[in-house]
Amino acid sequence: MEPERRAVLPQGGRTDRYGSQIRFPHTVRGAEAMLAASCTVVVEGSTDTADERLRLYYSYGARDARSKENAEKIELAANQSDKELHRKFGLAPGSDLPPGAYSRDTVTGFKVVKASTDEVSLWLLSRVTQKAGETAKEQVTYDRALVGARWEDGGRAPRVGST
CA dist., res. 98 & res. 45, Å (int): 7
CA dist., res. 59 & res. 110, Å (int): 21
Please check the confidence at residue 35 and state whether its pLDDT lies above 50: yes
Q: Please give the model's pTM, rounded to 2 decimal places.
A: 0.87
The residues, any chain, with a CB within 8 Å of residue 116's CB and separated by 6 or more, are: none
Mean pLDDT on 104-118: 94
How many domains does the chain divide into?
1
What CATH number is attached to the domain comprising 120? 3.10.450
Residue 63, in any domain of the structure: yes
**4 three-state secondary structure:** coil
Read off the pLDDT of residues 64-110 as tens digits, 9 standing for 90 and up.
888 999 999 999 999 999 999 999 999 998 888 999 999 999 999 99
In 39-101 the beta strands, taken as DSSP E runs, fall at 41-44
Residue 5, in any domain of the structure: no
Residue 66, in any domain of the structure: yes
Residue 1, in any domain of the structure: no
Residue 9, in any domain of the structure: no
Confidence at residue 8, expressed as pLDDT on a 0 to 100 scale: 83
